[in-house]
Amino acid sequence: MNTRNSVLASSVPSGGESIKVTIGQFSRRPEAGSLLGLIAVFVFFALVGGKVFLSPAGYASWLNVAAEIGIVALPVGLLMIAGDMDLSIGAVIPAASLTVAIISGHYGLPEIVGISAGLGIGLLVGFFNGYLVNRTGVPSLIVTIGSMFGVMGLTLGLTVLIAGSTGVSLVPGPTIKAILGDFVGGMFQVTIFWWLLFVAAFFQLLHVSPVGNWIFALGGDKVSARNAGIPTERLTVALYMLSGFCAAFVGVSQVLVYQSAQVLAGQSFIFNSIMCVVIGGVLLTGGAGSVVGIVLGTLTFAIVNQGIYFTGIDPNLGSVIIGALLLVAVMMNDKFRLMAMSYATKKKK
Amino acid sequence: MSDNTPILELKNVDKSFGPIDVLHDISLKVRAGEVLCLLGDNGAGKSTLIKTLAGVHKPTRGTILMDGEPVEFSGPRDAQEKGISTVHQFGGTFPLMSIGRSFFVGVEPTRGWGPFKVYDRKTANEIAVKAVQDFGITRIDDGDRLVGGLSGGERQSLAIARAVHFGARVLILDEPTAALGVKQAAHVLRIVNEAKRRGLAVIFITHQVMHAMAVGDHFAVLIRGAIAADFRRGEKTREEITDLMAGGETMADLEAQIETYMQSHEGQPPPPAQ
Ligand SMILES: Nc1ncnc2c1ncn2[C@@H]1O[C@H](COP(=O)(O)OP(=O)(O)O)[C@@H](O)[C@H]1O
Ligand SMILES: [Mg+2]
């Protein structure tokens, strides 16, 4: 929703009265629920998981997971705000990894060539998705399931054909490794810092630049958006290309971190990214959501996903917690939206 | 340009979607400071007609003239830039967006330059609120409020104020009063009159004869895609217009039919048409 900008953009509150107004405003924003969820989950695992969870290694374990999912969750969230889905990311991630591994590992060409080709594949699949969604009018869920299977099959087939197995390894040079595949302090993936960059860029795009308004309008009412003169088809293609690019980026950074690429490495990202986005308060039906929310949702997800290993609890229960969080989040999203709509602002004087 | 040249004129316009003919041989004129009421039953083709004027559809045959010159609209944006603003039926506002943002959808005010352009929320809110208040809707005073929290009449008023603000010379309103209560409809009618007073040409679509009579200078009745009647204020009574819309069958005839049915069916009204 758009009121969220008001807190970030409005001038610093001067008196107790305005602070109260600001808190009041915040409590009506969907991020309020996401933040509460994040705090609850963090406190829970800090208490149950104890010292190790709160050690640098503990932080690293869930931040590394958060960064990889987070980079994909951002464009998936934007697409959801715009009223669309992208499941093909699950195939683009390994497709990009293997492209890099085959070009630079198997054939030994310069890494820059492999990485460019990997990212290019993401852009290409994204373009294809956007084009099909516009042309066919088939729901994007179906279109991207189709392209996911298509890309998956091609990746598997070509990899076996070229490399003779479903996994290809790559030993990256020191410069590229330092930029994309290193561990800072021996445990924090550089991907975390890339994630921060992506977050800043997406924040700028959705909440600061005028294009953000087009994305909300597209998800709010596609026909009205087109009638208002927004280039809805180009915007849809651009969002899918962004999503393809981000997925490919994660694929590229994975192959540089783990030094090998596997055909089936991306599957878990499909549902996980959607869960991060929804837990972060993005409306499933489009038209509302925020980058801050998506980041909070991603952190919450990653903490549960990894925190469970610091406790004596059966790791399978982690899935139960995430499932419950998802349900609660969707219900809270609806509540917050109703509150925001029915709220008539008091005079601010 | 003489005062008498219509701002917008349709000459023998046809529109079909593949094999489906929706509009036949439509000729119409709209002048500045005049309200043209387009009347017609559901499915008559009213929305299709104005979508053709708004650049959403291209006419299959015939010409559109603006200020006497033939024009072709490449899309809704082109029509809008040429001064034709449309408030479409069932649309135009985004419930989950703020008043300021939804007012400026597609034409956001910005600060800064290039990739660092910043959506100017403050300016957007101020202009939006002022534009709506100038039309007498003083209850809207906070541009951050969500459109979904406004009443139906306020939303229509917001959409109309938006269209007028962006330099409309021709304002097209597709059934703006259809879903509104009496009081809210009166609100919208007052805004239509205000737009007319400001010298805009207004095309007002409705199937409620009362609303048309309240603001119209000029009336056209559309039946199954063709213009069945074209007349000026005062030339026809309310009953005559209603009969025209019903497709020639007079209301009195219909009432007589129902009366006969009820007499022969122990006072039961006839079942609704399927
Ligand atoms: N894009 C389209 N494709 C095919 N038929 C259409 C399309 N748009 C409208 N029609 C048909 O044109 C007729 C007139 O519709 P419309 O203009 O919406 O009527 P009104 O606004 O007067 O109720 C309807 O029968 C409708 O089914
Ligand atoms: Mg209609």
State the amino acid at position A93 in one-letter form.
I
For position B165, which CATH number holds? 3.40.50.300
CATH number listed for the domain at residues A35-342: 1.10.3470
- Across the interface, do A229 and B80 touch by the CB < 8 Å criterion? yes
Least Cα distance to B57 among B13, B100, B27, B98 occurs for B13
Instruction: Say if residue B127 is in the same domain as residue B204.
Output: yes
Beta strands in chain A (DSSP E): 167-169, 183-184, 188-189, 260-262
- Tokens 């590394």 sit on residue: A64
Q: Where are the domains of chain A?
A: 35-342
pLDDT of residue A349: 33
pLDDT along chain A (349 residues), means of 10: 37 41 61 86 89 91 96 98 96 96 94 96 98 95 96 94 90 90 91 97 94 94 86 96 98 93 87 94 90 96 91 83 85 76 49
- A122, A86 Cβ separation under 8 angstroms: no
Residue A258 burial (CB count, 10 A)? 14
DSSP letters, B76-140, are HHHHHHTTEEEE-TT-S--TTSBHHHHHTTTS--EES-GGG-EE-HHHHHHHHHHHHHHTT-TT-
Closest C-alpha to ligand 1, atom 14: B45
Instruction: Say if residue B232 is in the same domain as residue B264.
Output: no
Using the Cβ of B53 and the Cβ atoms of chain A, whether some distance falls under 8 Å is answered with: no
Say what the pTM is: 0.82
Instruction: Say if residue B207 is in the same domain as residue B246.
Output: no
| A277 phi/psi in degrees, rounded to 5 | -65, -45
Beta bridge partners of A331: none
Answer whether B22 contacts ligand 1 (Cβ < 6 A).
yes
Task: Give residues with Cβ within 8 angstroms of A20, minimum separation 6.
Answer: none
pLDDT of residue B92: 62
Question: Which helix H or strand E contains B61, and what residues bound it?
Answer: strand B61-66
- Across the interface, do B108 and A210 touch by the CB < 8 Å criterion? yes
pLDDT of residue A106: 92
Answer whether B45 contacts ligand 1 (Cβ < 6 A).
yes
Instruction: Say if residue B39 is in the same domain as residue B102.
Output: yes
pLDDT above 60: residue B146: yes
CA atoms of A202 and A245, how far apart (whole Å)? 13
Structural domain boundaries, residue B79: 2-236
Instruction: Say if residue B231 is in the same domain as residue B242.
Output: no
Instruction: Say if residue B232 is in the same domain as residue B126.
Output: yes
Instruction: Say if residue B63 is in the same domain as residue B25.
Output: yes
Collect contacts of B259-267 with beta carbons under 8 A, ≥24 apart: none
Q: What is the ipTM of this complex?
A: 0.77
Determine which of A235-249, B156-170, B227-241, B254-268 has the lowest per-residue pLDDT on average. B254-268
Determine which of A282-291, B49-58, B240-249 has the lowest per-residue pLDDT on average. B240-249
Instruction: Say if residue B185 is in the same domain as residue B255.
Output: no
Instruction: Say if residue B40 is in the same domain as residue B141.
Output: yes
- Across the interface, do A216 and B91 touch by the CB < 8 Å criterion? no
Instruction: Say if residue B214 is in the same domain as residue B253.
Output: no
Determine which of A16-30, B157-171, B203-217 has the lowest per-residue pLDDT on average. A16-30
Instruction: Say if residue B161 is in the same domain as residue B226.
Output: yes
pLDDT of residue B107: 86
pLDDT of residue A234: 96
Least Cα distance to A249 among A341, A82, A126 occurs for A126
| Number of structural domains chain B divides into | 2
Instruction: Say if residue B183 is in the same domain as residue B272.
Output: no
Interface of B with A in 212-231 (CB under 8 A): none
State the amino acid at position A3 in one-letter form.
T
